[in-house]
């Protein structure tokens, strides 16, 4: 009889533990709150703001606490120093690039950031402000990142080595990597995280910007890999697809992208173009192209446009009905109806560099790199809602999470 009693007791305890699991999970979830992280590229900080259209400021964190150590290493290596100064003189517009992209860990205790000038990805503790782990990317510059739907993996483009590294977001350990076209840029997980799309933008820092010199810009394509094996499953060169649509004049350098919720259509921006392209995934064809208004005050000298961008920043409302477009060199943002591709009001903003969506999905948020602000715009009306001052040269804006009691670093 003792054994049956012990077995019954163990089963009772196991059953109680099982019934308690949802409460524990709910407790963990309740311990964090959603926020928006604004990466201030030239300053090396991130402003943390409310994930709602009012953009209430919540705090700021230093993302280069190890700056002196990194600079000492760079100045001791002539090759690294050459690339560091080259980034400053070209893509950095005379500034060092300290923050490109950023995501938080699932528990909301760490923010993971790619730092172009330091050619690395680091995890910074949101309470102490200290670096937890550091991953030096291959080559000499880190660029855009993407986080998997489950929040456990982060992909980062190493632009000078034509490589994407996929890391465990908690530990910084590399899970895999793969080769891309020239200068990998935007990364997007699809199919629940099974696939990863990487677009290569080519050489955007040369002055060979006339259309007939487009061939000098390098090997530009979308590379799609299986994230269980990191093997390529497909490559998409938009050049023949644009030609087939009758737009041989457009660059095939794919910049920011946005998928529909069912991932059947991909919208993207290309170098030098004031507009967006619609691509049907199943038929592998471009189906529509929308040209957006030009700002008469914008120079037509393409060499004056930052990193070959005319428009750079694209997001979609959660219901898939609206697109938010950052008209970078034209100094406006606008909401586009996806069914008609008709733009809404042109909201005046200063060199908007990115577009994302608020936590409740009611508004888009654009970073104004020209005026050091972030601005929210209603998806419903296309009108500006709020605008706040942030740090020097905001670029990427991402949804993340922090502990509910978080008020900023204490260390």
pLDDT tens digit string along 210-246?
888 888 999 999 999 999 999 999 999 999 999 999 9
Domain-embedded: residue 318: yes
**Structure confidence by residue, pLDDT tens digits, 121-168:** 999 999 999 999 999 999 999 999 999 999 999 999 999 999 999 999
Q: Which two tokens stand for residue 276?
A: 């967006």
275 near 267, Cβ under 8 Å? no
CA distance 334 to 313: 11
Region of 34 (left: φ > 0; alpha: ψ -120 to 50; beta: rest) is beta
Phi, psi at 300, each rounded to 5°: -90, 5
- Give the count of domains, the chain: 1
* Percent of all residues in the chain with a pLDDT value above 90, rounded to a whole number: 88
Tell me the CATH number at 273.
2.130.10.10
Is the pLDDT at 17 greater than 60? The verdict is no
- Domain that residue 324 falls in: 32-403
Domain-embedded: residue 384: yes
CA distance 212 to 209: 8
Coil, helix or strand at residue 114: strand
Strands laid side by side in the 373-378 sheet? 352-357, 363-368, 373-378, 384-389
Is the pLDDT at 30 greater than 80? The verdict is no
Closest CA to 311 of 367, 388, 256: 256
Domain-embedded: residue 24: no
H/E segment holding residue 348: strand 347-348
Domain-embedded: residue 9: no
pTM, rounded to two decimals: 0.91
Residue 344: partners with Cβ closer than 8 Å, 6 or more residues away: 334, 335, 336, 337, 381, 382
**Structure confidence by residue, pLDDT tens digits, 246-285:** 999 999 999 999 999 999 999 999 999 999 999 999 999 9
**For position 411, what pLDDT does the model report?**
58
Domain-embedded: residue 49: yes
**For position 137, what pLDDT does the model report?**
98
401 near 35, Cβ under 8 Å? yes
Domain-embedded: residue 18: no
Beta-bridged to residue 122, according to DSSP, are 113, 134
CA distance 201 to 215: 12
CB neighbours of residue 164 within 10 Å: 29
């Amino acid at each position: 009889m003792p054994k049956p009693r012990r077995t019954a007791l163990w089963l009772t305890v196991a059953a109680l533990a099982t019934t308690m699991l949802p409460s524990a999970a709910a407790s963990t979830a309740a311990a964090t709150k959603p926020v928006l992280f604004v990466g201030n590229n030239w300053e090396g900080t991130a402003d943390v703001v409310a994930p709602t259209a009012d953009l209430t400021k919540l705090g700021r964190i230093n993302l280069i606490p190890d700056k002196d150590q990194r600079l000492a290493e760079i100045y001791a290596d002539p090759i690294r120093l050459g690339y560091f100064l080259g980034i400053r003189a070209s893509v950095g517009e005379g500034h060092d690039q300290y923050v490109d992209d950023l995501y938080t860990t699932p528990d909301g205790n760490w923010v993971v950031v790619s730092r172009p000038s330091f050619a690395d990805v680091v995890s910074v503790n949101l309470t102490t402000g200290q670096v937890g782990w550091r991953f030096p990317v291959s080559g000499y510059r880190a660029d855009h990142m993407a986080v998997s739907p489950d929040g456990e993996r982060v992909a980062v483009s190493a632009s000078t080595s034509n490589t994407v590294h996929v890391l465990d977001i908690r530990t910084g350990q590399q899970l895999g990597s793969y080769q891309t076209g020239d200068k990998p840029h935007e990364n997007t997980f699809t199919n629940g995280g099974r696939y990863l799309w990487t677009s290569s933008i080519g050489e955007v820092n040369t002055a060979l910007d006339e259309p007939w010199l487009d061939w000098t810009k390098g090997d530009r394509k979308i590379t799609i890999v299986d994230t269980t094996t990191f093997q390529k499953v497909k490559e998409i060169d938009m050049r023949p697809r644009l030609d087939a649509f009758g737009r041989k004049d457009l660059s095939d350098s794919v910049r920011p992208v946005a998928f529909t919720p069912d991932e059947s259509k991909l919208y993207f921006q290309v170098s030098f173009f004031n507009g967006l392209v619609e691509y049907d995934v199943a038929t592998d064809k471009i189906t529509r192209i929308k040209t957006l208004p030009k700002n008469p005050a914008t120079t037509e000298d393409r060499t004056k446009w930052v990193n070959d961008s005319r428009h750079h920043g694209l997001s979609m409302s959660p219901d898939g009905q609206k697109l938010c477009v950052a008209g970078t060199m034209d100094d406006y943002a606008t909401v586009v109806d996806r069914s008609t591709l008709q733009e809404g009001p042109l909201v005046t903003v200063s060199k908007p560099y990115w577009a994302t969506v608020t936590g409740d999905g009611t508004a888009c948020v654009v970073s104004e790199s020209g005026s050091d602000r972030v601005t929210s715009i209603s998806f419903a009306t296309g009108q500006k809602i709020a605008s706040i001052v942030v740090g020097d040269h905001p670029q990427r804006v991402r949804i993340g999470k922090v502990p509910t009691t978080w008020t900023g670093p204490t260390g």
